[in-house]
């Protein structure tokens, strides 16, 4: 198992280096001069040259990339163009806890509801339970996240006519759960959960149905085993293996999985920071958010590999 994980870690490390290179090159060859544009009507050649030197833009691209990697190894994401000379992490640090909190609780709801509903639908295939749950899941799956966000806000506004005063935007204090904080967080979290629930419910149903049709499940039933033993001891453990891959990717996308929901509810997380950075052509911030996503995806895949080894011991020998 250790050798297997070491091979995966080395492979994922090369992937991470590739992502950093592509991210850097896209920023390097992007048209325009972000420093000159940030100076606007106050452009001064002498100041422009000084800022280019401070940011290292007067160096060859390979030297800039090397310096970029050195800073990254020391957990330095660089300095921003807007505002000038401010560390990128200082810009991101307030948005990261909000995005992680939204994505974490939304993912918990997606998994806690989607997987059990999908398994129950598979066990009750072609019944009204299966038809109803899968119809709801299909509708939610077909709707983009931003459409679900708009519907959720319309529902809140309709309910708010009664004078409850429920907020339709904002977030509250990260990782605090007073009643006022819950009012801000509940609807975005449920919206995130609804968007993910449909996918996991359909995937869990499909994988469970496929396992239930396997010969070893029929053999277990033919031996007279109780249905619960057949489902939990034989079918469920094998059906959950494909779900582990999805869960690993889910862990990797915690930072940006809530992008449209953050924008729709005007939540000041990573999404809004990224949009502002794109509008201002603030490449260090864009590179910082991209690298954070890449690192999360790499770690998510590592978690998937570890869970594979726990669920299926045969992987340890590969």
Domain shared by 152 and 53, yes or no: no
Q: Quick one: which of 171, 124, 163 has its CA closest to 267?
A: 171
Q: Report yes or no on 273 lying in a domain.
A: no
H/E element holding 304? helix 283-311
pLDDT tens string 285-300: 888 888 888 887 777 7
Q: Report yes or no on 196 lying in a domain.
A: yes
Q: Report yes or no on 33 lying in a domain.
A: yes
CB 303 within 8 A of CB 5: no
Residue where one domain finishes, among candidates 90, 109, 132: 90
Domain shared by 110 and 239, yes or no: yes
Domain shared by 129 and 71, yes or no: no
Domain shared by 140 and 264, yes or no: yes
Number of domains comprising the chain = 2
pLDDT tens string 301-316: 777 777 776 766 665 5
Q: Which of 36-45, 103-112, 153-162, 305-314 has the highest mean pLDDT?
A: 103-112
The Cα 301–Cα 206 span in angstroms is 22
Q: Is the pLDDT of residue 282 over 70?
A: yes
Which residues is 79 bridged to in the sheet? 87
Domain shared by 43 and 119, yes or no: no
Q: Report yes or no on 113 lying in a domain.
A: yes
Domain shared by 136 and 256, yes or no: yes
Q: Cis bond leading into 83, ω under 30°?
A: yes
Q: Is the pLDDT of residue 317 over 50?
A: no
Residue 73: give the domain boundaries: 12-90
State the pLDDT at residue 132: 92
pLDDT tens string 90-129: 888 888 899 888 888 988 898 899 889 998 998 888 899 9
Sign of CA dihedral 97, 103, 108, 109: positive
Percentage of the chain modeled with pLDDT above 90: 3
Q: Is the pLDDT of residue 255 over 70?
A: no
State the pLDDT at residue 117: 92
State the pLDDT at residue 252: 58
More confident residue, 208 or 223: 208
Q: Report yes or no on 174 lying in a domain.
A: yes
Domain shared by 103 and 241, yes or no: yes
Domain shared by 137 and 230, yes or no: yes
Q: Report yes or no on 302 lying in a domain.
A: no
Domain shared by 194 and 225, yes or no: yes
Q: How would DSSP label each residue in 82-130?
A: TTTT-BHHHHHTTHHHHHHHHHHHHHHHHHHHHHHHHHHHHHTTTSHHH
Q: Is the pLDDT of residue 254 over 70?
A: no
Looking at residue 58, the DSSP 8-state letter turns out to be: T
pLDDT tens string 2-34: 776 777 778 778 888 888 888 888 877 777 777
pLDDT band at residue 227, thresholds of 50, 70 and 90?
confident
pLDDT band at residue 56, thresholds of 50, 70 and 90?
confident
Phi, psi dihedrals of residue 105, rounded to the nearest 5°: -70, -35
Please report, in angstroms and rounded to a whole number, the separation of the first and last CA atoms in the chain. 8
Domain shared by 65 and 179, yes or no: no
Q: Report yes or no on 218 lying in a domain.
A: yes
Domain shared by 145 and 50, yes or no: no
Residue where one domain finishes, among candidates 90, 109, 129: 90
Average pLDDT value for residue range 264-274 = 86
State the pLDDT at residue 280: 78
Q: Is the pLDDT of residue 256 over 70?
A: no
Residue 202 belongs to domain with CATH number: 1.10.3720.10
pLDDT band at residue 248, thresholds of 50, 70 and 90?
low
Alpha helices in 174-282 (DSSP H): 179-212, 215-222, 227-229, 236-252, 259-264, 270-280
Comparing 58-62, 124-128, 254-258, the range with the smallest average pLDDT is 254-258
Q: Quick one: which of 186, 190, 194 has its CA closest to 142?
A: 194
Domain shared by 252 and 120, yes or no: yes
Q: Report yes or no on 68 lying in a domain.
A: yes
Residue where one domain finishes, among candidates 90, 122, 137: 90
Structure tokens at 278: 């794109």
């Amino acid at each position: 198992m250790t050798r297997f994980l070491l091979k995966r870690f080395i492979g994922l490390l090369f992937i991470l280096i590739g992502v950093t290179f592509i991210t850097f090159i896209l920023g390097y060859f992007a048209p325009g001069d972000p420093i000159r544009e940030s100076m606007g009507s106050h452009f001064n050649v002498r100041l422009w040259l000084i800022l280019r030197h401070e940011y290292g833009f007067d160096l060859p691209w390979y030297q800039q990339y090397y310096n970029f990697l050195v800073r990254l190894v020391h957990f330095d994401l660089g300095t921003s163009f807007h505002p000038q000379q401010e560390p990128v992490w200082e810009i991101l640090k307030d948005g990261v806890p909000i995005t992680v909190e939204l994505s974490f609780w939304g993912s918990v709801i997606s998994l806690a509801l989607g997987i059990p509903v999908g398994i129950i639908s598979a066990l009750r295939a072609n019944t009204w339970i299966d038809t109803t749950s899968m119809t709801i899941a299909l509708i939610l799956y077909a709707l983009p996240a931003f459409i679900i966000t708009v519907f959720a806000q319309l529902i809140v506004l309709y309910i708010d006519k009664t004078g409850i005063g429920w907020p339709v935007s904002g977030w509250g204090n990260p990782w605090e759960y007073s009643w006022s904080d819950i009012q801000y967080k509940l609807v975005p979290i449920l919206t995130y959960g609804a968007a993910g629930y449909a996918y996991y419910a359909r995937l869990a149903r499909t994988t469970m149905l496929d396992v239930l049709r396997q010969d070893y499940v029929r053999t277990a039933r033919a031996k007279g085993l109780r249905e619960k033993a057949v489902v939990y001891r034989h079918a469920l453990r094998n059906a959950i293996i494909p779900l582990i891959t999805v869960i690993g990717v889910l862990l990797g996308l915690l930072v940006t999985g809530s992008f449209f929901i953050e924008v729709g509810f005007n939540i000041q997380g990573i999404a809004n920071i990224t949009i502002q950075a794109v509008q201002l052509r603030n490449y260090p911030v864009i590179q910082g958010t991209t690298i954070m996503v890449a690192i999360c995806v790499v770690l998510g895949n590592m978690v998937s590999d570890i869970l594979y080894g726990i669920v299926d011991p045969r992987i340890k020998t590969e």
